[in-house]
Structure 1
Amino acid sequence: MKFILISPKNRTIYNFRGDLIKEIRSKGYEIIVTGPNLDNIDKVKGLGVRFELIPLNKTGLNIYEDLKYLIRLIKLFRSEKPDITLGYTIKPVIYGSLAAKFSGVKNIYSMVTGAGYVFTAKTLKANIIKYFASLLYRIGFRCSKKVIFQNNDDMEEFIKNNLIKKDKCELVNGSGVNMDKYPPVDFPETFTFFMLSRVLHSKGIREYLEAAKKVKEKYPDVRFMLLGAVENIQDSLKRQELDPYIENGIIDYFDETNDVASFYKQCSVYVLPSYREGTPRTVLEAMAMGRPIITSDAPGCRETVIEEKNGFLVPVKNSDLLANKMEWFIQHQDKIHDMGRASYELCRGKFDVNKVNEEMLKHMSIK
């Protein structure tokens, strides 16, 4: 039996799908993984998979490059004759499903890990892209046997907009988190807020920076950390926009790392004011390590917080209320242990990767 996973980025293969891959392998499947480049290839192959390089610009709008991606997937599928394919994120879902259908694959599955930038931005360009993305989603979903969503809001919106029929939809609690890899740890001596994200507007990075600036003026000893890459894409802040917050001592900034657990250890409260998510993996990791959460009252994010029990939800794009909740934690530091414990218990009951993967295999009829 052969399973092909269609991925947009190598890092997500071992970070987000590693446990799922191991579970599918344990059922006797040979697994082939496609990736856009050779980044971190040793870590990918370390999962016991065969890697196939199929270049992809996951955010580009070049139809010629997308057609080349589709054709290469078709060649791979016709050569390998997989029993099951699974694509995640927009282009692997659309073109992976089409390629599998053209190649006669019977069991085609897709996973929507979040609606993405084009469904949150309101610019003319984003609306045009959303129109064509919606059209392509409809086509790709028709090829899929089942489409797995990571939160109910995304699923209901896709159904409401006639992108997919309800009887084709399944729901899981995000990608899950390995509770053994991210165990609870003691809180740091310095009260610290932490955000881990690519430096994108749609992740709420601007709101985090502005809230940090406001709070830092009143509580100069409180620490703010930011970890994540500045990318050369439309939604990203430029490095020169980030530099003043670093130079003025408002945030401690760190680039990408393979050891994110060491950063969660340094924080008292985890913050992600994102505009929309599938289910944010970073929030789940912070919860597993026993951290209270401040996140946005937005699709994907709101599932991770029980208000005032393990954290707070704040409105999207509201740095003032975000700063208010940060100040609440500073003023009620005696609450963070109990709220952190509540995060851990919620994560263990709902987002444990073993439970999520059990549901994934069931939806793909893998026994």
Structure 2
Amino acid sequence: MKDIFLLITTVPQSLNFYKGQVQVLKSKYHIEVASSPGQRLDSFGEVEDVPVHSVPMKREISIFSDLQSLYRLYRLIKKLKPKVVHASTPKAGFLGMLAAYLNKTPVRIYFVLGLRYEGTKGFKRRFLMWMESLSCKLATHVFAVSKGTRKTLLDEKITSKEVRIIWNGSINGINPNQFDVKATPKAAIDHSLIPEGSFVFGYVGRLVGDKGTNELIEAFTTLHQSHPEIRLLLIGDFEDVQDPVSDRTRSLIKNHSAIIYAGYQSDVKPFFKLMDVFVFPSYREGFGMVVMEAAAMEKPVICSDITGCNEIIIDGQTGILIPPRSTEMLLRAMNSLRTRPELLEKLSTNARESVIQRYEQQTLWKHSLEAYREITT
């Protein structure tokens, strides 16, 4: 009989990080999944053919709700008696590690996908750092999604434990056959929205402040004043609780004639195909999976010089790195790529080869299974 391996994330959207990989893990373990309720959780269970458990969890700090979530996770773990509890994302990491520790689960893996405190200040920052530190302390093993995340965990003394990286980093790697621009049809967008001859900048991700959404809209609308042929294609949901965008940004996204807002899309590849340049001015990332996906789709990338992203993108070779929070530098980079077709071609050619060489999915899955097998046998 296989050992139970319980995978926990705060919200089911984050389960996308484990698509396909679950099938590899099932060769060794009996996988079960816990996350906040919703259609995406149910869909993940159906597609991956694994049992799922609804445990409401809020991403923001909420003492009463968090205690309820902790109790539900404690009861679930007590019932399932898993050998492994694997938790990722900050809230699920904290609650999952605490619930597993109280149940004396033998293998408790905290997989650090990003450090939420990096986008905060004052008491909230100190509190979130304490949460990360306690999550690591309660875990028997700590993994990080990138070399930069590992370095930060150790440099800022979040943990003194060994922090492991699987292969070259990332959580799920990249499937070169799936992310192939030649095999992907373009998304069906009204031609009046993107007329012939348009130069299209694109973004995929949550529309929130710390993803650099405010700076992106400001830079784009400024550049559009002198270059009306440019367009901005946005893929993702607004978030109204944690760090929402400014009212001005929201209004421009919804009303500007050159901004195409397509909302959340379960398959972003056809939308990548519409883009000339992918822009991702985030303030903080653990890795930046969408940057890797854009590069695999042969899209030149402009992204912030931050943890994770600056491991995926080689400045001047596969994309352009800019300081986070700088509308001026973002505007310069966007204008530079708009006017330099030879640089665009160079970056797009190099981008795909670079990410596939370092993050090919099947190879990452093999390394992941080996890493978990090593600590559970």
The reply to whether TM is greater than 0.5 is yes
Tell me which residue corresponds to 2:73. Answer: 73
Report the CA distance between 1:303 and its aligned residue.
1.1
Give secondary structure in 2 for the equivalent of 1:224.
strand
Distance in 2 (alpha carbons) for counterparts of 1:322 and 1:196? 16
The CA deviation at 1:139 is 2.2
Which residue of the partner structure matches residue 38 of structure 2?
Answer: 38
Question: Does 1:121 find its partner at 2:120?
Answer: yes
Aligned equivalent of 2:160, options 160, 165, 170: 165
Correspondence for 1:297: 305
Partner of residue 174, structure 1: 170
The aligned runs of 1:1-367 (5 Å cut-off) are 1-13=3-15, 15-25=16-26, 27-40=27-40, 41-59=42-60, 61-116=61-116, 118-122=117-121, 127-170=122-165, 172-175=168-171, 176-185=173-182, 190-237=198-245, 241-365=249-373
Percent identity over paired residues: 23
Q: Which amino acid aligns with 2:7?
A: L
Once residues 43 and 249 of structure 1 are traced to their aligned partners in structure 2, the CA distance between those partners, rounded to angstroms, is 36
Distance 1:241 1:83 in 2: 47
Equivalent position SS for 2:162:
helix
Paired with 2:337 and 2:355, the residues of 1 have a C-alpha distance of 21
State the one-letter code of the partner of 1:18.
Answer: K
Equivalents in 2 of 1:209, 1:139: separation in Å? 37
Contact 1:146 1:170 survives alignment (8 Å): no
Q: Secondary structure at the match of 1:225?
A: strand
Classify the secondary structure of the residue corresponding to 1:364: helix
Q: How much does 1:229 deviate?
A: 1.1
Tell me the secondary structure at the aligned position of residue 365 of structure 1: helix
Q: Is 148-157 or 177-186 further displaced after alignment? A: 177-186
Relative to 1, partners in 2 of residues 1:83 and 1:136: Cα closer, same or farther, differing over 3 Å?
same
Using the alignment, how far apart are the partners of 1:49 and 1:329 within structure 2?
Answer: 45
| CA–CA distance in structure 1, aligned partners of residues 133 and 23 of structure 2 | 31
Q: Matched residues in 2 for 1:310 and 1:168: separation? A: 28
Contact map agreement 1:112 1:278 (CA 8 A) in 2: yes
Normalized against structure 2, the TM-score is what?
A: 0.89
* Structure-2 change in CA distance of 1:134 and 1:194 (3 Å): same
SS in 1 for 2:324: coil
Partner amino acid, structure 2, of 1:130:
R
Shift of 1:238: 5.0
Aligned residues: 359
Residue type of the partner of 1:55?
Answer: P
Q: 1:177 is matched by which residue type in structure 2? A: I
Given that 2:214 and 2:246 are in contact with CA atoms closer than 8 Å, whether structure 1 keeps it comes out as no
- TM-score, normalised to structure 1's length? 0.92
**Greater CA deviation, 245-254 or 91-100?**
245-254
Query: How many Å separate the matches in 2 of 1:242 and 1:168?
Result: 39
Tell whether the 8 Å contact from 1:306 to 1:312 is kept in structure 2 after alignment: yes
Task: Give 1:297 deviation, angstroms.
Answer: 0.8
Q: Matches of 1:245 and 1:39 in 2, distance apart? A: 27
The superposition leaves residues 98-152 of structure 1 with CA deviations (integer Å, 9 ceiling, x where unpaired) of 1112112111111111112x32233xxxx22222222232222122122111222
- Deviations along 1:200-237, one digit per CA (max 9) or x if unpaired, are 11001111111111221222112211121111114111
CA distances 1:62-101 after superposition (whole Å, capped 9, x unpaired)? 2122122112112111211112111001111111111112
Residues 172-217 of structure 1 show CA distances to partners (whole Å, capped at 9, x for unaligned) of 5222222222112399963211011211110011111111112212
Q: 2:243 is paired with a residue of what secondary structure? A: coil
Unaligned 5+ segments in structure 1 are none
